[in-house]
Amino acid sequence: MGIDQNSIIAQFPILKQQINKFPLVYFDNAATTQKPQCVIESLTDYYSNFNSNIHRGVHHLSQKATEAYEQVRAQIKDFIHANSSNEIVFTKGTTDSINLLAFSIGETFIEEGDEIIVSELEHHSNIVPWQMLCQRKKAHLRVIPVNDEGDLLIDEYRKLLNKRTRLVAVGHVSNALGTVNPIKEIIDLAHQNNSFVLIDGAQAVAHLAVDVKALDCDFYAFSGHKMYGPMGIGVLYGKKHLLEQLQPYQGGGEMIASVSFEKTTYNELPYKFEAGTPNVADVLALSKAIEFIQKYGISNLAKLESEVLEYATEEFKKIKRIKIVGTAKRKAGVLSFLIEGVHPYDVGTILDQFGIAVRTGNHCAEPIMTRLGIRGTIRASFAAYNTKEEVDRLLKAIHKTIDMFG
Ligand code: PLP
């Protein structure tokens, strides 16, 4: 049975507004999704009723906040099917998760001459931390190429794997083109080669069911704000036996067992990786975002999005001057395109005049743009509250744009 999309839309107060006298059409969900009322209220509730620092207080508020915070860790463990709550490290977001891992795995496992594989599709957040690590350790970055459609060339990936490959870091879903990568195959091939695998799940968690156990990935990173949750909170999942071996990323409060000037010992997992006062309010609000997703079921939400994506793709194909960028075999949530003769920035500016929010540019994925021989695209990215009627408004505005530019 389908779900009532209007009841979903009604929960997002920001969508009720008008922009430039038009009802807002928000198609910039790959950058950040909007937040349902339950997430917004959770933030006020925390600061109104039980704000306090956690883990080291005996008083009522601190205990209440600590308990709530740790419950969310268990909830996330279930959400992504991890084995243990100790495998869930709270971070500021995907970028922070990847930087943490790049530092910690680098200090623990990477030596001069080692190789790290990324792909041409990656977001800068899954490129630059590895480049920095390679510079630090005199290791080498290798890159899986893509075809013109935006699919990774798996045979080329096989050829890149060798005995120096220590880690493979690839995205689950491309933010620039929407490609859903065959990550199970990528993970299995890496493991046959004794290499670790990080999956950048920033664009996946709101669109696909993620099961880290079934995937058997070693690490998985994602951001709260791309899955209806707040900004400033994210997760790094890591297999327990690996996290246990890794050097900590930052030093400070909470991550220690004992400190003396002679010798400091580190706390147990996951606290070893959570130095300083944590972002309790956003962790609790993230919990509400997960409840929101689970209330409807991720596959039901994904179905709504893929119907909109398919509809938009078919309608865009009918417009001669539009070129869809990224036509991979399997896609989620993203339609990148160009209008012949019109600069993406101009398209974005005109669409905004009609109350339509899209993103233009290289989407923090410059290498894939370079590979495709373009500077950037216009990107419409969808969430469960987007409708075919909104796509119709986009189409109408695009026709007007084409007319304006002759
Ligand atoms: N990876 C991918 C695929 C992304 O799309 C993004 C953000 O757009 C990131 C990483 C970085 O996420 P954040 O800015 O939340 O750290």
Q: Are residues 272 and 329 in the same domain?
A: no
Domain count within the chain: 2
Average pLDDT over residues 272-296: 98
Do residues 248 and 328 share a domain?
no
Give yes or no for residue 33 CB within 6 A of ligand 1: no
pLDDT tens across 74-101, in order? Answer: 999 999 999 999 999 999 999 999 999 9
Q: In a mutational test of the pocket of ligand 1, which residue from 96, 123, 179 has the highest number of ligand atoms less than 8 Å from its CB? A: 123
- Encode pLDDT of 196-212 as tens digits: 999 999 999 999 999 99
| Cα dihedral sign, 222-112-242-258 | negative
Mean pLDDT of 91-119: 98
pTM: 0.98
> What is each CA distance from 320 to 176, 339, 349, 373, 380, in whole angstroms?
22, 9, 21, 20, 18
Write out pLDDT tens, residues 144-185.
999 999 999 999 999 999 999 999 999 999 999 999 999 999
The pLDDT of 100-117, averaged and rounded, is 98
Q: What's the CATH number where 191 sits?
A: 3.40.640.10
Ligand 1 atom 8, closest CA: 31
Measure 264 CA to ligand 1 centroid, in angstroms.
34
What tens digit of pLDDT does each residue of 308-362 get?
A: 999 999 999 999 999 999 999 999 999 999 999 999 999 999 999 999 999 999 9
For residues 180 and 259, membership in a common domain is answered with yes
Residue 239 lies in a domain: yes
| 386 and 273 part of one domain | no
Mean local confidence (pLDDT), 359-385: 98
Q: Ligand 1: which of 120, 175, 236 to mutate, most ligand atoms within 8 Å of CB?
A: 175
Q: Is 217 a catalytic residue?
A: no
The range of the structural domain enclosing residue 263 comes to: 40-294
119 lines ligand 1 (CB under 6 A): no
Instruction: Using the atom order of ligand 1, give the atom closest to the CA of residue 231.
Output: 15
pLDDT tens string 219-248: 999 999 999 999 999 999 999 999 999 999
Mean pLDDT to the nearest integer, 124-128: 98
Q: Are strands 165-171 and 115-119 parallel, antiparallel or unpaired?
A: parallel
Reported confidence tier of residue 1, pLDDT bands at 50, 70, 90: low
Does residue 165 have its Cβ closer than 6 Å to ligand 1? no
Runs of H (alpha helix) within 183-297:
183-192, 212-215, 240-245, 280-296
> Does the pLDDT value for residue 50 go beyond 70?
yes
The one catalytic residue in 38, 134, 217, 364 is: 364
Q: Compute, in angstroms, the gap from residue 267 CA to the centroid of ligand 1.
A: 29
Same domain, residue pair 177 and 61 = yes
122 CA closest ligand 1 atom index: 3
**pLDDT at residue number 57:** 83
Same domain? For 267 and 313 the reply is no
Confidence at 2, pLDDT banded by 50, 70, 90: confident
> Measured between alpha carbons, how far is 381 from 348 in angstroms, rounded to an integer?
13
* Residue 171, ligand 1, Cβ within 6 A: yes
Mean pLDDT of the chain: 97
Q: How far is the CA of 221 from the centre of ligand 1 (A)?
A: 9
Assign residue 390 the CATH number of its domain. 3.90.1150.10
Nearest-10 crossing angle of helices 388-405, 344-353: 120
350 belongs to a structural domain:
yes
Q: In the chain, what are the helix, strand and coil shares in percent, each to the nearest 5?
A: 45, 20, 35
